[in-house]
Structure 1
Amino acid sequence: MTQPKKRDSEATRARILAAAKRAFSTTGYSHTGIREVASLAGTSSTLVLRYFGSKIGLFEAALRDAMRTAEILQPPLTEFATSLADVLRTDPGATDPMLMIAMASGEREAAELAARVFTELTIIPVGETLGGPDGKERALQMSILAIGFVFFMKHLPLTVFGKQETARICDWFTRSVLDVIEPHSPGD
Structure 2
Amino acid sequence: MYTSRPSDPKTSTRQRDAERTRAALISAAQTLFSTRGFANTGVREVAELAGVNSSLVNRYFGSKQGLYRETLEQVLDIIPMLQGDRRRFGENVVSIFLGVQDAPGPLMMLILSAADPEAHATSVELLHKKAIEPLARWLGPPDAEGRAARLNILWSGFLMSWRLLPLPQLAEVRHSSTRRWLEAAIQAIVDEGES
TM-score (norm 2): 0.84
On the 8 A contact 1:26/1:155 being kept in 2, the answer is: no
- Paired residue for 2:85? 76
- Structure 1 106/77 Cα, relative in aligned 2: closer, same or farther at 3 Å? farther
Q: CA deviation at 1:9?
A: 1.0
In the alignment, which residue of structure 1 is the partner of 2:45? 36
Aligned to 1:59: 68
* Alpha-carbon separation, structure 1, partners of 2:103 and 2:151: 15
Query: CA–CA distance in 2 between the matches of 1:53 and 1:107?
Result: 18
Q: Would you say 1:112 and 2:129 are equivalent positions?
A: no
In structure 2, the partner of 1:85 is 94
CA distance in 1, matches of 2:16, 2:84: 35
Shifted more, 85-94 versus 143-152: the winner is 85-94
The alignment partner of 2:166 has SS state of: coil
Unaligned runs of 5+ in 2: 1-9
Distance 1:68 1:94, change over 3 A: farther
**Aligned: 1:8 with 2:53:** no
The code of the aligned residue for 2:121 comes to E
Tell me the secondary structure at the aligned position of residue 125 of structure 1.
helix
Q: Out of 164-173 and 74-83, give the one that drifted further.
A: 164-173
Matched residue, 1:45: 54
1:71 CA drift (Å) = 2.2
The amino acid that maps onto 1:51 is Y
- Tell me, which stretches of 5 or more residues in structure 1 are unaligned? none
Q: Report the Cα offset of residue 57 of structure 1.
A: 0.7
Q: Which amino acid aligns with 2:77?
A: R
- Percent pairwise identity: 31
Look up the match of 1:147: 156
Residue type of the partner of 2:165? L
- For residues 52-90 of structure 1, the C-alpha deviation after alignment (integer angstroms, 9 at most, x for no partner) is 111111111000000221222124223232021221232
1:67-120 per-residue CA deviation (whole Å, 9 max, x = no partner) reads 221222124223232021221232259971222112212322111111111111
**Measured at CA, do residues 92 and 28 of structure 1 come closer, stay the same or move farther in structure 2, by a change above 3 Å?**
farther
Give the aligned residue type for 1:44.
N
Q: CA deviation at 1:21?
A: 1.1
Q: Counterpart of 1:31 in structure 2: which amino acid?
A: N
Bigger Cα Rg: 2
